Amino acid sequence: MLRYLENVVTLQLDTETCNGCGMCVNVCPHGVFNVQDRKAAIVDKEACMECGACALNCPVNAIKVQSGVGCATAIIMGAIGKKSECSGSCGGSPAANAANKSGSCGATK
Amino acid sequence: MSGAPRVKELLEIIHRIESTHLSEVVSHRQIILPQLGAPGVAAHEVKRRSSFRVIYGPVRAHDIPEFLNAGMKTSAEMREVNFNLSDRTVLIPVELVQWSPYALAVALVLFFLAGVSRNGYILPGWTGGREVLIVIVAFITGSALTPIFLPWLPGRALSVKGMISGLIFAIVLVFAGLIPSAQTGGQLETAAWILLMPAIAAFTAMNFTGSTTYTSLSGVKKEMRFAVPAQIIVAMLGLSLWVTARFF
């Protein structure tokens, strides 16, 4: 199983708000979540690729993640003010792009 | 942060349901979507706005019969995205097509620069061709061989994996005699390519992050913060040595 850099994932789950519907389990392509006792739990945080499907499909908004396509090409193209074939604009899913209209995603932080 | 759903981008499936008059075509109110469409869909919004309940199907189409037999339930295996050899291999042509113009541009520049010497300029023949070949090997190492050998290369950052395969091939080419190593000029040329090949391969391998199914945006940003400056410094050093080697 391929693993990427450690301790970088921005995924957060608010267990208080969670209603245990299990949608996050259904959409996650990396088995990050599990539902135990009608509450979701993050069981494999390091496997998260920040696609954002869980946060988007959580009906009670209990999940937060800084989502986007982790794509070096898109970040470089964004940094030099060009668009990339890799995504609409910079390193992001449509959702992340909307949150980043400036197109300066390489320079965030 | 992508906490609240940005509704505008997520309306596509709802528009499709409306424009195809799906509710008049079928009597039920269920719609099966491929699981990997989920980063662009908010199932509860679809339900609220179109009354259709989204059911996420399996990742791979060949699991559909099993999914249906199980009463439209996916198993953990059906939901899991793999990144095995064939998944990685099919992506290689994309990498090659995307980066080959840049690789060829670099190769051409080195081809013509190879004609520089202390005795002035002569149009390079085989010497220039050899430099072109080395650039192409470095490029293929990063964009094709690194993806193929991904799980077996040490390191987690893709640029580190690319750097290591670039280094291996630089050493191979030195021993194969393609990179000259005799006398001062050869030693400088060897040192130059020992730096340049890993830099080129690290850069192209780093760009494979956009194709993988497991690299996160936060991780790529972190990787690039150390990898890009390192690649630039090493490439500049390598290029200086390479140019110096022309004069010996």
pLDDT, tens digit (0-9, with 9 covering 90-100), for A64-75: 999 887 889 888
Number of domains in chain B: 2
Among chain B residues, the shortest Cα distance to A87 is held by B210
| Mean confidence (pLDDT) of chain B | 92
How high is the pLDDT of residue B123?
Answer: 87
pLDDT > 70: percent of chain A: 75
Q: Specify the CATH number of the domain A12-64.
A: 3.30.70.20
The verdict on B175 and B92 lying in the same domain is yes
Q: Do B159 and B222 sit in the same domain of this protein?
A: yes
Residues of B in contact with A45 (CB under 8 A): none
Do the domain assignments include residue B1? no
| Torsional class of B123: left (φ above 0), alpha (ψ -120 to 50), beta (otherwise) | beta
pLDDT averaged over chain A? 80
Same domain, B118 and B231: yes
In a domain, B68, yes or no: yes
User: What mean pLDDT do residues A36-43 have?
Assistant: 95
The reply to whether B64 and B108 lie within a common domain is no
Stated as kind and residue range, the H or E segment containing B32 is strand B30-33
Q: Are residues B73 and B95 in the same domain?
A: no
> Are residues B163 and B193 located together in one domain of the fold?
yes
Tell me the two tokens of residue B55. Answer: 């059911």
Identify whether B27 is part of a domain.
yes
In this complex, is the C-beta atom of B91 within 8 Å of any C-beta atom belonging to chain A? Answer: no
A29: number of Cβ within 10 Å: 21
The answer on B223 and B172 residing in a single domain is yes
Q: What is the mean pLDDT of residues B150-176?
A: 96
pLDDT of residue B196: 96
Could you read off the pLDDT of B42-66 as tens digits, one per residue? 999 999 999 999 999 999 999 999 9
Residues A2, B151 contacting (CB under 8 angstroms) = yes
B184 CA: distance to closest CA in chain A (Å): 37
Nearest to A61 among B3, B35, B83 (CB): B3
Q: For residue A29, give the nearest of B59, B156, B223 by CB distance.
A: B59
The verdict on residue B2 lying in a domain is no
Residues B182 and B63 in one domain: no
Mean pLDDT along residues B122-151: 93
Q: B203 with B89, same domain?
A: yes
Chain A environment of B157 (Cβ under 8 Å): 4-5
Does the pTM exceed 0.90?
no
Q: Last residue of some domain: B79, B102, B134? A: B79
d(CA A99, nearest CA chain B) in Å: 8
> Tokens 């470089």 — which residue?
A76
Which tokens belong to A103? 């197109």
**In chain B, what residues touch A79 (CB-CB under 8 Å)?**
none
Place of tokens 């509710």: B23
Residue of A2, A29, A86 with shortest CB distance to B36:
A29
Contact A26 B74 (CB under 8 A): yes
Do B106 and B61 fall into the same domain? Answer: no
* Cβ separation B223–A2 shorter than 8 A: no
Of A49, A53, A95, the CB nearest to B215: A49
Q: What is the pLDDT of residue A7?
A: 93
| Contacting residues of B for A73, CB less than 8 Å apart | 98, 207, 210
Flag whether residue B217 sits within 8 Å of chain A, measured between CB atoms.
Answer: yes
Nearest to A56 among B36, B41, B224 (CB): B41
CA distances from A12 to A19, A34, B198, B205, B242 (A): 15, 14, 37, 30, 49
| Closest residue by Cα to residue B33 from A12, B25, B22 | B22
Please check whether residues B126 and B44 belong to one and the same domain. no
Chain B CB contacts of A106 under 8 Å are: 221, 224
Rounded-to-integer distance, Cα B118 and Cα B142, Å = 33
B111 and B212 fall within a common domain = yes
Q: What percent of chain B has pLDDT over 90?
A: 82
The ranges assigned to domains in chain A are: 12-64, 72-100
Specify the higher pLDDT residue, B102 or A94. B102
A-chain residue closest to B151, CA distance: A2
Choosing from B28, B46, B79, the residue where a domain stops is B79
**B174 within a domain of the structure (yes/no):** yes
Domain of residue B35 covers: 7-79
pLDDT the model gives residue B7 = 58
